[in-house]
Amino acid sequence: MRRLLLLPFLFMPSLHADPIAYPVTRKENITDTYHGVTVEDTYRWLEDDYSPETKAWVVAQNAVTQQSLAAIPSREAIRSRLTELWNYERSSLPQTEGGKWFYTVNSGLQDQAVLHVADSLDGERRVLLDPNALSEDGTVSLATYAVSEDGRWLAYATSGGGSDWNEIRVREIATGRDLDDHLRWVKFSGLSWAKDGSGFYYSRYPAPPEGEALTQVNENQTLWFHRVGTTQEEDRLIYERPDQPRWGIGGWVSEDGDYLLIHLSQGTDPKNRFAYLSLKDEGAAVVELLSEGDAEYSFIGNLGPVFHFHTDLDAPRKRVIAIDIRRPGREDWREVVPESGDLLDSARLVGGKLFGTYMKDASDRLYRFEADGSGKTEIRLPGLGSIGGLSGKQRDKEVFYAFTSFTEPPSIYRLDIASGQSSLWRKAEVGFDGSAYETKQVFFESKDGTRVPMFIVHRKGIALDGSHRVLMYGYGGFQISLQPGFSVSRAVWLGRGGIAVTVNLRGGGEYGREWHDAGRKLNKQNVFDDFIAAAETLVAEGYTRPGKLAIQGGSNGGLLVGACLTQRPELFGAALPAVGVMDMLRFNQFTIGWAWEEDYGSPADPEAFRVLHRYSPYHALKPGVRYPATLVTTADHDDRVVPAHSFKFAARLQECQAKDGPPVLIRIDTSAGHGAGTALSKVIERTADEWAFLESVLE
């Protein structure tokens, strides 16, 4: 069967063949004035996703989309191959508490991974929590969990239908019995137990008005302590900042149990503040340790009263510093690991040592230091790829990490701290021969001469004759780095003769703070220029031609795709914008959208408005232009980037598309959200639709 799937697509019917009758989308005469500029918003009524008219529009659009996609002959073969490849066992990194081991396992095609507990690392495991049993359609997911240090209690948060809202419950580990504890209106929160297991710390928001949970602006997050066996009404308020309603407040307990660390953020700006509460001293007050918001500070562990931070203060590629809270003045701060030429992407104290993960041109290197920063030693990794997590505590003698590349699925390794030697704990066995493919890292020049990298993955021995279908993926924002990593979806694309490209755009975090700053706010156009230059390079080097080039991105990456297809429509054959931020003048009006002003700027600022209005995908569309074939995807429970962005963009694109232009479809998933926790069955169906669409519309 695999050989059949590799045959060229010479006789595939195309969605270009017959014009699609799109549902009629009503237009309103609505305008806004920004800094003297009048802007139309004729599809604003689609922002009300609860209205009967919007719901009817969704049903009508989905009907047209599903009818079109179901008619593509290759779709079933793609869906079958996706199902086949995804059917492999995969585990999370293990963690230990109270003499027991905890990790999640997906046996293959389960919609959600199942949390297990075992008495030893390689001992027989038993199910502790199966999210698949919490809903009939697999759409309730385990968002996060924490185990008390004595191994008695499990605090766990679930999400329904992909929403960012979580509900927290407490389970007795020995019996598997849930207590009556039930906490609501939790979002963007961790769970951290008090050392004695009496309760845990978490963050929550005020309850939204009825019917507005998925759209209301999220402000006034607060930090609370919940005691096991009590109601949420009895929870104790730990910290709030009513004077700063847009601050994010998170808290966790230090490993020694002596301190509650309080992280204070402002939107998505990496710069943050930091406070702590001594848990040793009854009646102690919260102490503001880092209050200026002048840099990014990540707490990585403490040795008594000496706190270690991973920071970009005076170090764009980051370093590690130590602050003795008994002498917190900056003149007494000590540098533990200095900045180097490569980005120190993460650091943590484990087993009496300090481990640092460095990123060099978007791939990882791992080093071990003494706690004082001396004795830097490289830990040999299995190859060129990326590390997923580094789990372990200061009392441990080993740590665990996952390692992956574009052609190898994640395998979990256990690292002996003393010797620095790694051994394989769990290897993912996938029915995909990665050795048949090669990965190249290519550097190209962007519009302004900046050197930008991208990874190109393809079958070995291809001819660079412009004949290949290419799927180009990017993100370019919020200091998020795109590193080598295995994807079943990409594996299927590769197996059907495609080329997969990942571009490390400015706005990401691959080269530290300066790389991020070069692609945000007034510099955002650099991100789109980078992506466009990558496409031009792929065409010039013979990998593909515009009619065979597809672009894909989600969330901020959906904005990327929307901006590029409006700026250079002739350069691309197809576009897959997923859950994208498409209306750059109203993104800050819903849920947590205001927080993105730290990356995008605010429409209320005249200078930022001019930039936002210029590239906003919804506003940049022009009637009669031949835009690439486009499949917009979103979900009805996305309360991160509300679906109105995609609704309005799709409606406007259908209106503006040239009469003889390729199809513009929108696929709206139900009981799904921004992406995290989406049921695997839904992921398979969506990906089958996307790949079938691309194969049908690309020349």
Q: What's the order of all strands across the beta sheet hosting 574-578? A: 437-445, 451-459, 499-503, 470-473, 549-554, 574-578, 629-635, 664-669
Residue 652 contacts residue 621 (beta carbons within 8 Å): yes
Phi, psi of 510 (to 5 degrees): -60, -30
- Which residue has 């002996």 as its token pair? 416
Q: At what angle do helices 680-697 and 52-70 cross, to 10 degrees?
A: 60
- Residue 3 phi, psi (nearest 5): -65, -40
> Which segments within 381-520 are labelled E, that is strand?
386-391, 398-404, 411-416, 422-426, 437-445, 451-459, 470-473, 499-503
First to last CA, the chain: 24
Spatial neighbors of 406 by CB under 8 A, at least 6 apart, are 385, 437, 439, 455, 457, 484, 485, 486, 487, 490, 500, 502
Contact 247, 262 (CB under 8 A): no
DSSP 326-376: TS-SGGG-EEEE---SSEEEEEEEETTEEEEEEEETTEEEEEEEETTS---
Catalytic residues: 555, 674
Place of tokens 């009939």: 136
What does the alpha-carbon distance between residue 357 and residue 331 come to, in Å, rounded to a whole number? 28
Burial (CB count within 10 angstroms: exposed 0-12, middle 13-18, buried 19+), residue 328: middle
